[in-house]
A and B are shown apart, each in its own frame.
Chain A
Amino acid sequence: QKEVEQDPGPLSVPEGAIVSLNCTYSNSAFQYFMWYRQYSRKGPELLMYTYSSGNKEDGRFTAQVDKSSKYISLFIRDSQPSDSATYLCAMSIPSGGGADGLTFGKGTHLIIQP
């Protein structure tokens, strides 16, 4: 079992729909949770990061972390065709914990149909 599981999709939704993207993880030491967006043949772009449990909102994006279930989500409201990309979740343990690289999911390929 990989440390971070993410459904690769593709996930296809109509423009304007609410999108829900999810990851599960197995390492309870993870405390920081990130979402990156990656367009084809480009580097990942940081969208949001959260610490521990709770919600964080930024414009049309909301990130949720449920540490008790080891489950994180990213919601996109009023989805646009320009949101079509691969969305990667990433996680890390606190500084000094010995593993300073991010652990990524495989990414979910999202398609917003005009």
Chain B
Amino acid sequence: DTGVSQNPRHKITKRGQNVTFRCDPISEHNRLYWYRQTLGQGPEFLTYFQNEAQLEKSRLLSDRFSAERPKGSFSTLEIQRTEQGDSAMYLCASSRAQGKETQYFGPGTRLLVL
């Protein structure tokens, strides 16, 4: 399967703990995006990378959130000092630089903060 993969698929944590999610994009895609989706809402853009460079951050990305893509391949999203409001599905997508509109999504990581 050459689609976008995300790990873990589910994460339950206690408030105040740190969590890290991983995304592996489609191999030939050099753009990688992170979105957050809460129940009954569409995905909301958080940030994106072109290769290893983080080029845009949404105002939704508080300073407790950090994303990296060190070698321009996989990416990690870390949430520090989790809060109950961080409970959501975290989605990763990838695309080519030319044709960014055709973004392909992974299955998501569902986070529950207790």
- Which residues of A approach B to under 8 Å, CB–CB? 4, 6, 8, 32, 34, 36, 41-46, 49, 51, 88, 90, 92, 95, 99-107
Contact = CB atoms under 8 A, between A and B. Distances in A.
Interface residues of B, number: 29
A104 to B, nearest CB: 3
Interface stretch (B14-22, B65-73, B78-86, B96-104): B96-104
Contacts of A101: 33, 35, 45-46, 48, 56, 58
A19 B107 CA distance: 26
A43 B40 contact: no
A43 B98 CA distance: 23
Given A42-B107, A101-B56, A107 B42 contact: yes
A77 to B, nearest CB: 23
10 contacts: A43-B4, A43-B6, A43-B105, A46-B104, A90-B42, A100-B33, A100-B55, A102-B45, A106-B40, A107-B42
B110 A100 contact: no
B95 to A, nearest CB: 9
Given A49-B101, A92-B101, A100 B108 contact: no
Contacts of B6: 43
A43 B107 contact: yes
Given A42-B107, A101-B58, A107-B42, A49 B102 contact: yes
Given A42-B108, A101-B48, A102-B103, 6 more contacts: A44-B105, A46-B103, A46-B105, A102-B33, A104-B42, A105-B42
Contact of A34 (B4, B101, B110): B101
